[in-house]
Structure 1
C-alpha cells in the first residue's frame, strides 16, 4: 500500500467561450459535463478499490465553477459527507489583466502596447511564456503553485494511507506533475487530461512521486490546448 495518493481530476466539459483561453472563466458545466462527472465518480471509486485505499473524507478543489461543480456531482454520487475545501492555488493559469479575453483581444491589446512582436506565435501553449501584463502567470508558474499546494496537503498526516481527490485544471495539473517528477518535459505538450477521469499519483516512502493509475489523454491537432 502506498503512503499517500492524489486523484487529480480535471473538471468536466464546461461552457467555455470560443477562441478564449480557459484561464479564470466563470462558466458552469454543460449537460454533457454533468454526465461526465457522474461517470468519473464510478471511475474514482474503482481506482480507490484497485489501490486498496479508502477515499479521504476531505476533498480539495479549485474554486472555479467548472471544477467545483464536478466535485459536487461526484460527492453526491459517492455519498461523501466530509468537507470540500476550496484552494485558490489549484486554479488554472491566470492571465492577469487579460483574464477571460479572447485570443484575438489579447493579441490586439499586446499590439496596442507595442508588445506583440516579442510574443511567441503559440504563446497560449508555451510553458515558460508569461504575458507582459499585470498579474499574468506562465504555465510553469501555475504548475509550481499547484505542486506546492499538493505538497502542503501531503504534509498533513491525516491524509496518509488514503486516496485524496483533487479537482482542478488540465494544464495546471500537467505542469504540476512535471514539477513533481511525474511527467517529463516532452510529455507536458504530448498529453492532456480526460474530462472528470482521475489520474492518480502517489508518493513513496522516499518522497518520490509517480503515476500509479489512470491515463493521460494523447493530444491531437483537434484537441490541442483547450484546457
Structure 2
C-alpha cells in the first residue's frame, strides 16, 4: 500500500476502533460474514487482514484461514489475536501473492481495494489463487458516499473519474494522512468482469439491529445513507 497509509503508526488505535466501533463491528464485518455464509472447511484468504478480527470470526466458524497485510504492525496484532496456528504474511496487494494457483475457496478483500489506483493486477492475482468455483467477497467505500461528501464540501469532483483523495485519521493519539482512490460503480464492475469474475451479488446492507441502542444517532445516519458497498464475485 502507499506509504502515506501508515497503519504501523495507527495499529493499536485502529485495532481498538475496529474492535467495537459501529462501522466495522456492527456493519462491515457482520455484512461480510453474512455474505460468506457457511464456511466450515473452506480455505479462505483474508487479503488486507489488518489486526485479524475478521480472520478470527471466520476461523471460529470453521474456516481454514490465511491472512496477508502490508503492515507488519497490524500483523503483529493479528498474531497476538490468533496465536501461532494461522498463517500470516506481510504482502503488498499490488505485488504477486505468495501462494500457488487455486489454493483458496474464497478470498475476502475487506475495505482494502479503495487504497489502490489500479485494481487489475490485484484482481488477477485474486483470481489466480482461487479454485474454480471460488468466490471473491469485497467491501469498499461506496462511491456515491465519497462523491456526495466531496460535493457537499465544495470540491467539484467528477463522479465518472477515478481520482485520489485524502484525509487525516487520528487514533490512539496518533495522526496520519490516509490516501484513497474513488471510482464510479461502472469502473468497479468493469474491473471485476475484465479480471474474469462473474458478479453474483451487489449489496448495500443495514447495520445490525443491536447497534441501534448503542449508537442511536450514528445508526440512523448509517441506515439511511450509503457508506460501504459489497460484492460477491465468482470464478467459473
Task: Judge same fold: TM > 0.5, yes or no.
Answer: no
Q: Normalising TM by the smaller chain, what interval?
A: 0.3 to 0.5
| Higher strand proportion | 2
Between the two structures, name the one with larger relative contact order (CA 8 Å, sep ≥ 6): 1
TM-score (norm 1): 0.36
